[in-house]
Amino acid sequence: MSQRLTEKTFQAGAIGINYAERPDKGPSIVLLHGGSANWHDFEDLGNVFSGHWHVYIPDLRGHGKSGRVPWGYSVQEYAADIGAFLQQVSGPAALFGHSLGGVVAVMTASLFPLDVRALLVGDAPLDSISWKAAMDRPDHRETQRWMRALSGGKYTMDQVIAGIKMARGDAPDSKGQYKTLGDIYPDGDPFYEYLASRLIGHDPDVLGMLLDDYATVAAGYEMDKVLPKIECPVLLMQADPNAGGTMTDAEVVRAMSLLRNGQHVKFTGLSHLYILEDMLRVACEMDKFMDQFVR
């Protein structure tokens, strides 16, 4: 019988990194969650892989139970943590990251090419310019602001849930009007506790830096410089831009010309949150890609 995912702590320099592990037989895979999340977001995905992979799921710094660093959330700093994790905990591994985790995974593979056996990029921006364009969308900035205000554990679970209910949803209705999340999700919906628990364990400086000091966060994340340094095979896993995906068609074309060994899959009809929408489809594509290079 497979063992359950268990939590451990790794010291990456001055910061403790919390992670979950399921030590089954097989090569190592490290899963990096998105912004304002934690390792539990990939618990089900980890369970899918656990029969034939040695699964590791870290909390990024400033997220979940990992350490916090005042104004210390640049892509370079995230990547240094994960590079140390690959060298001292998992060993060389397949590396998957979604959204912010995808940005971190790309930078990690560029800075630590010998430690990443295969790279899977889950609907993340591939360049600081495209990332900034996504950040500057008015609906996105509005979401980031209210999430920042509710982060950090200064409010109780009930208070955070009340704040979430008053927050504006991302997308307008057919009349161009925005509903609050309280209008969209009924009382008692598990969405509230899911999001509130993640915000309570989230350092507000993570979002603060993205909103107020983006140049520091994204320093060095330039496609022409980063992608050619990646030595392993790469799978770009694109959501549907027409359904709210982040990775653009133009980015994919440019990235494929810069990568030594790049592949691409597009999940037509699925949004940026495609792992929640069709996890088995996503896992199948990941397995198919990794079987070519990691087994």
Type of residue numbered 63: H
Structure tokens, 181: 């999340």
Q: Does residue 285 sit in the same domain as residue 182?
A: no
Q: Say which residues have a Cβ less than 8 Å from residue 260's Cβ, sequence separation at least 6.
A: 228, 230, 231
Does the residue 1 lie in any domain?
no
- The side-by-side arrangement of strands in the sheet containing 54-58 is 6-12, 15-22, 54-58, 28-32, 93-98, 116-122, 234-239, 262-267
CATH number for the domain harbouring residue 34: 3.40.50.1820
Q: Say which residues have a Cβ less than 8 Å from residue 194's Cβ, sequence separation at least 6.
A: none
Q: Does residue 121 sit in the same domain as residue 25?
A: yes
pLDDT score, position 1: 37
pLDDT score, position 171: 64
pLDDT score, position 99: 97
Domain carrying residue 202: 134-212
pLDDT score, position 3: 60
Structure tokens, 150: 């509710």
Q: Does residue 164 sit in the same domain as residue 38?
A: no
Domain count, the chain: 2
Q: Nearest 10 degrees: CA dihedral of 147, 219, 215, 257? A: -90
- The residue from 212, 235, 255 where one domain ends is 212
Q: Say which residues have a Cβ less than 8 Å from residue 133's Cβ, sequence separation at least 6.
A: none
Q: What's the pTM value of the predicted model, to 2 decimals?
A: 0.96
Low-confidence ranges of the chain (pLDDT < 70): 1-3, 170-173
Q: How far apart are CA 162 and CA 192, in angstroms?
A: 9
Q: Does residue 124 sit in the same domain as residue 143?
A: no
- Could you tell me if 92 and 108 are in contact, meaning their C-beta atoms sit under 8 angstroms apart? no
